Homo-oligomer: A and B are copies of this chain.
Amino acid sequence: MPKTPPGQTRNRVFRFVRDCLLRGDSPSLREVQRHFGFRAVETVRAHLTALVEEGRLVKEPGRARGYRLPKRQSQRQTKGQTKGLSAPVPEWSAGRLQPVPLLGEVAAGGFEEAIENPEGNLPVEIPDSRDLSDYFALRVRGESMSGAGILPGDTVIVERRGTPVSGQIVVALLEEEATVKRLYLGQGGMELRPENPDFDTLRPPPGSCRILGRVVELRRQVR
């Protein structure tokens, strides 16, 4: 019955469980017991319940393998580190994962044709309230939106639902070519503004342009 200094074993137990959980694998009490060579399950349980009380772990009651890492609360509101506007925290993992068709660049060939022949699918999380068929993905071609952090080669995920709203980043279909621009609706009609001083604002005559949808997510493979 080797007794260790207070808190030492507890930390080792915590690190072990944490590493398991980061691997996506919640350990059972007896697995922890075996790993440390304890001769009683209760030893592990004591440690884990203590860790829960300390707030270092969280337990879902009535579940086997129910220990979790606590979600981090937004504990930094007093920090004042938000110089200017703070970026909105994205809500990942809110809906279900669905295969959104990746249409490619949609330059030559036409949009309708691209819809029929997607290049592949992208796992995208979409809200429960939406339908999978409202979404598609496109690869960005030009530099015209680089000022908004949208670079050539990036993939944008587009939701084609609802009416276009002024100020949104949209995908527009102009003469069988899809382009990403920021949409503005004024008295003079529709404006498609690039976010790059080297490009000009487009003012397509009514009827010559179709808004395919609004950009809801962006993904980039680095290197």
Contacts and interface: CB of A to CB of B under 8 A. Distances in A.
B118 A64 contact: no
Given A108-B81, A109-B75, A151-B149, A218 B216 contact: no
A3 interface: no
Copies in the complex: 2
A109 B71 CA distance: 14
Q: Is the interface of A mostly helix, strand, loop or mixed?
A: loop
Nearest to A125: B123
A56 interface: yes
A217 B132 CA distance: 24
Interface string A31-55: 0000000000000000000000000
Given A64-B65, A76-B107, A87-B139, 14 more contacts: A19-B96, A22-B118, A24-B98, A26-B26, A28-B64, A65-B65, A69-B116, A76-B109, A87-B151, A89-B153, A92-B155, A215-B222, A218-B220, A219-B220
16 contacts: A23-B132, A64-B64, A65-B65, A69-B117, A76-B105, A76-B107, A76-B108, A79-B107, A79-B108, A90-B99, A92-B119, A92-B120, A146-B149, A149-B149, A217-B222, A218-B219
A214 B154 CA distance: 18
Contacts of A105: 76
